[in-house]
Structure 1
């Protein structure tokens, strides 16, 4: 039961980032978008690992790695002023 709750939190974090991006509030290259994707997919990867769900470990693990790489790149990029 606890594992299911943890997986729901991870899924909600990923879905929240997707919702915010679809609403135009966040951009895919933004730190907050990438951070939510990384955190959510890392949680889902751990839950899938515990449950020996290897297909989901692969999908979520790759998604977490890609999100983490994007997050590192976004944090290293120079800040750009957003016009109002």
Structure 2
């Protein structure tokens, strides 16, 4: 496997981990961990697909990354008192 394969592998693994944690009830879709795993995973998968010039996956991951990023920056921060 080359570097692009490894980056894509770890990106997809993060997305699958977010999905597994959600369906197993360990995190909700509004949890910061879920959003962060989706964003970082989509970004890594996009980078790998860009390097490999695999256009359908690039489109999918670019949209996934944008949506995840918007969700991540809109996440309400918790202020400790």
Asked if Structure 1 and Structure 2 have the same fold, meaning a TM-score greater than 0.5 normalized by the shorter chain, the answer is yes
Q: Tell me the distance in 1 between the aligned counterparts of 2:14 and 2:77.
A: 26
The 5-angstrom pairing of residues 1-84 of structure 1 reads: 1-74=2-75, 77=76, 79=78
Deviation at 1:20, TM superposition (A): 0.1
CA distance in 1, matches of 2:59, 2:46: 8
Aligned residues: 77
Q: TM-score, normalised by structure 2?
A: 0.88
Question: Do the aligned residues in 1 keep the contact of 2:7 with 2:47 (CA within 8 Å)?
Answer: no
Alignment RMSD, CA only?
A: 1.1
**How far apart, CA to CA, are the structure 1 residues paired with 2:21 and 2:15?**
10
User: What's the CA shift string for 1:23-64, capped at 9, x where partnerless?
Assistant: 011000111100000000000001111111111111001001
Q: 1:51 to 1:28 in 2, by over 3 A?
A: same
Q: Which runs of 5+ in 2 are unaligned?
A: none
TM-score by length of 1: 0.85
